[in-house]
Structure 1
Amino acid sequence: MQRAASGVVLPKREVVQAFARVCGMDVDEITRLWHAAYRGSPGGRGTRSRDPEQRPDRIKDLPGFCTALEELRQANGAPSFRMMERRARATDRELSRSTAFRISTGQQPPASAECLEAFLVACEVPPRDRRTWLDAWRQVQWRAARQDAERREEMRRLESVVAENVRGQVSQETAVRMLRKAGFEALERFRRFDAPWTVECLECATTFRIRLSDVVLVRATCPDCPKLTERVREAWAELLTNRSKLLSRQHVRALRAATVLQPRMHRDHLDVPVFVADRTTFTILQSAVWHPALEEALRRHVRRPFYLDVLLVHDDTRQNGLRHRRLAKDAGLIDGPLETEPFKPDPDRMNWAAQAEGASGRVAATVQRDTVRPDPDIKTPWKPTSNSGA
């Protein structure tokens, strides 16, 4: 703030606007004065000269060219896109508001020299400076075409490696098989190795577009699956606060002693495993009376239709314990190491199982499916954790 008010350099527009809002000044008037100062200052930054990389002949790629055009628009008073359209039309040039917006935001570079010249005219760039921008645009276009040709050649070589025929092109059957192996289902016919392909995630049924080349290079991921765990944990934290007042104190204490594990979304079914470390907590949570509160919290965070499946993970047996622990470890449901000593069989222990119907119509509680409780007589570094931090 001291540097912004010193008068030595021109601060950023965002800083000036924030300064004006805090001081109760007219933000529009301050913005207009800032644009006037920007236009009158060398390089648009006080007494400092223009950065060399911002010069048109120093731009390396099309995104950088769009960024430089937006800086040019800001330096010339930041005219509105409607005003830019009017200025271009006044000189018999075509520049729509949407085109000017896409260029300024970097979504689309100028498609032709005429489009670029219309943008420059709308920014009131003098004719002698337009030629510099046009020459820079042609240089960037040539460099982008060369890089695109190199990328296509690289993709052609990669496709010839993974193809299963002498032509070196991936067939429809091979592409679908590779896609399913990566966890996606094709929603349209395969066109090209590097063409966008509409697919559906087999886990969460999210629809998006990827390229088979990205699948081969292990760069294709579902945009929605990584967010599922975070959203479920946020809903679980909200459930523990009992904001809806649907839970009794006994259930709140039991839920705080439990731990929500990694959820899974399969089509329209959301599986939420909950690890219960002791028999008392399991006895309380095996009833489905708390499931509607969990579902209500989940629907505020998971913004898509789903049927809820609640899985209580609990073990009260010594037989086959190590096998169940390995299954849980492979499924990613526990983070602790496996026991180095085998469990001692105890015929007095028995498995607990309970199922109940919830409000969603398909809520179930099941036990001893994914993980186990370690033998208390065996010293092991693995300990179950709880959401309460105890």
Structure 2
Amino acid sequence: MTSTTSRRLLAAAAIGVLVLAPVAPAVASTSTSASASPSRDLDRSLQAQLDRLTKEDKAPGALAYVTEADGTSTTVVSGTAERGTGRPMVGADAKFRIGSITKPVLAVTVLRLVEQGKIALDAPVERYLPGVLRGTGAGAAIDGRKITVRGLLQQTSGLPDFMGAVDWSKPSQDYLKIALGMKPTPAGRFAYANTNYLVAGMVVKAVTGRDFRAVSRDLVLEPLGMLGTYWPARGDTGLRKPYAHTYGVNPVDPQGGVVDVTRLPGYELGASGGLVSTPEDLNRFWDGVFTGKVLSDRAFLKRTVAMKGGEWPVGSRYGFGMARVQMSCGTVWFHGGDVPGVFALSGRASSGRQATVYTTGSMNGDKQFPHMIATLTTALCP
């Protein structure tokens, strides 16, 4: 739920291949499963990475799911699905909250509407949401007549991120109103903000007359066969089975320490981070997008902006809801996601390999990030 964590996940992944050291296998693997495994060496390497996440970093559970270009796959897990039970970690068909990995799905939804002629990328947001984007106070310079749909998807609109200003102990807050009262970021420069995708979801509803959840389901999820992926309904705090329990700090009670946060108001995370999915479905998403199953024009892959300054390494770029970086195996497209109790990375290498990795615990980011990146790097570029 924190934008800082999402940014660091993206930044760490972008630089990960440059700083990783080999990992010695753990003495004993917690749990492993594989289906048509492309390589037993890959299994062992991923097992070592996941065991480090559960043993050294104390994540309750961890999973890596890799799909090759020919459709063969491997699933490797470590840890438990529920503390105190000894129940093995769930598999690649299990549901989890994917956080900001929602953004690539929403971006592709918008791009499908662009292909249908319902949205123009370079049109001002004002065309679709007249009078909606008008800043107040510190945000007085925010003006929807100067912000394009492209700027929303590429995180260059100048809209500030509402996430750090929300009081999560208060239900049903107006996130956009909060953002419109904040100081904007420099327009035209990359600045990660969940507000961009909040507004993009509003644009989808404006041009279709339907909630962005239903539109994304019809245009992306169902065509790609992502049958385990869904948007939680209002008031729905649980997860559909199967799932692993997740553990972290509840934003409603940050003083309560690490607790079971499996039940969260997922609906409130909306267009910027509300999806529930599975590793199988996320890999299916990357394959479908990059092989033309939902977009006839994939030129958007080349239309990126530089992610300059701050934590972003030289050469990192951001497209339409996707970050791009060069790794040892070529170009990698990916996104990170986090909600309390989950850290996740998912993406695709130019070789046609897809991978999703996630853990079910909130831990020390400075320590865990490089370990998470090591796992993704091993999965995509063995």
TM-score band by shorter chain is: under 0.3
The two structures have a TM-score, normalised by structure 1, of: 0.20
The two structures have a TM-score, normalised by structure 2, of: 0.20
Name which structure has the greater RCO, CA cutoff 8 Å, separation 6+: 2
Which of 1 and 2 has greater Rg?
Answer: 1
Structure number having the greater helix percentage: 1
